[in-house]
Amino acid sequence: MKKILTFISLFFLSVPVMATCDYSDTGNGASVGLSITSKILSDTTLPAGTVLAAKSVGGQVTNTKTFSNCGINDIYAIIASPSTTLVTGVKGVLGGPVYETGIPGIGFEISEAITGTVSRPVPATLGSVSAYGLSSSPIKQISVWLIKTNEAIDTSSTGTHNISVSYRAGTVNQVNSNSTAARLLRVDITLGPFTFKETSCDITPRGGNTINLSSIEASQLKSAVQGGVTGKQKEFTLDISCPTSSIGTKYNYWFNAITENSPTKDGVLLNNISTATGGAKDVGFIIKQGNSAIKFFDFNSYVINNIQKSQSLNFTADYYKVSNSLTPGPVQAMFEIVLQEN
């Protein structure tokens, strides 16, 4: 289950000659495996677009081949095998596209291999685009999300389902033939076997989904240490309640930034109100658990090993100074917490 939290406050105050791509190495790219065997919530009241499970893989991902200087006829492609179709009308994490897994009711979303960070992955779109003008940056991990695609999940599905996603760049012939030169990364995904559950723990923000911070003066925020305590921080609590069948089991929870978060600074949500509409410039929020900033899209670090019938998680929201060029205006951001049984 998941809950969305909203923070609201007012802050005073010409074409080159055709060529083939250049690559970081002459190898056949990296290859990694990723297996998801989580317990899946099959509750029919959950809407399409609900995150059912999430997992990331690093390791050999850091050896993904990069490319640059591609010619005008070169392409960049993301290809799934077996081929899959886009789920129409359903968006995944960060608004990304969702594709069929072969299990009715369950789709998958995968992150890009040429851009994005651990803190801010970029959803991948299957298919091909021109590679002219594109270049890739080294990445540290690939993330996969399982997304509910319709009202009823086929809980009779047994065994495993395998999907291979390949990232390639080069000429059309190189890409279509899966040549060694064009291969950047291949992710072999194994789904299942799953255990389906009709109920799970629920998580509820104490006092409601909207957290309001007191106003802060521009001079006060400018003088504050970046990421430090401003004196305007607001504590909030998330209450977890579990059915008897879940007591004593292991849960993970993770944080999904619905609005934009910093790709390099942990726990920082950027202002979702544009300066064109009066929003504060270079002001955001930082979310902390204890004295440490939370890590968005970290699916492994936050664990409850022996969940109880009732327990709570405590956090703090505070203003965050992006730079000293900040200007007055309202500040707003949203994130959700996803609770996932292992």
- Averages of pLDDT over runs of 10 residues in the chain (342 residues) are 57 45 91 96 94 96 96 97 98 98 98 97 98 94 97 91 98 96 97 95 95 96 97 98 96 98 98 98 98 98 98 98 97 97 88
pLDDT attached to residue 1:
57
pLDDT attached to residue 342:
85
pLDDT attached to residue 16:
39
CATH 2.60.40.1090 range(s) for the chain read: 2-13+199-341
Rounded Cα distance between 67 and 50, Å, is 35
CATH topology of domain 2-13+199-341: Immunoglobulin-like (2.60.40)
Rounded Cα distance between 181 and 109, Å, is 26
pLDDT attached to residue 132:
96
Amino acid code (one letter) for 98: V
Rounded Cα distance between 159 and 176, Å, is 31
Task: Give the position of tokens 């109880």.
Answer: 308
Cα atoms in the Cβ-side hemisphere of radius 13 Å centred on 316: 16
pLDDT attached to residue 12:
43
pLDDT attached to residue 150:
86
pLDDT attached to residue 18:
40
Query: Mind spelling out the 3-state secondary structure of the chain?
Result: CEEEEEEEEEECCCCCCCCCCEECCCCCCEEEEEEECCEEECCCCCCCCCEEEEEEECHHHHHCCCEECCCCCCEEEEEEECCCCEEEEEECHHHCEEEEEEECCEEEEEECCCCCCCCCCCECCCEEEECCCCCCCCCCCEEEEEEECCCCCCCCCCCCEEEEEEEEEECHHHHHCCCHHHEEEEEEEEECCCEEECCCCEEEECCCCEEECCCECHHHHHHCCCCCCCCCCEEEEEEEECCHHHCCCCEEEEEEECCCECCCCCCEEECCCCHHHCCCECEEEEEEECCEECCECCCCCCEECCCCCEEEEEEEEEEEECCCCCECEEEEEEEEEEEEEC
Please state which of the four CATH numbers 1.10.357, 2.60.40, 3.30.70, 1.10.3470 is assigned to the domain occupying 22-197: 2.60.40
Question: By C-alpha distance, which of 182, 179, 181 is closest to 168?
Answer: 182
pLDDT attached to residue 5:
60
For residues 162 and 7, the answer to whether their CB atoms sit within 8 Å is: no
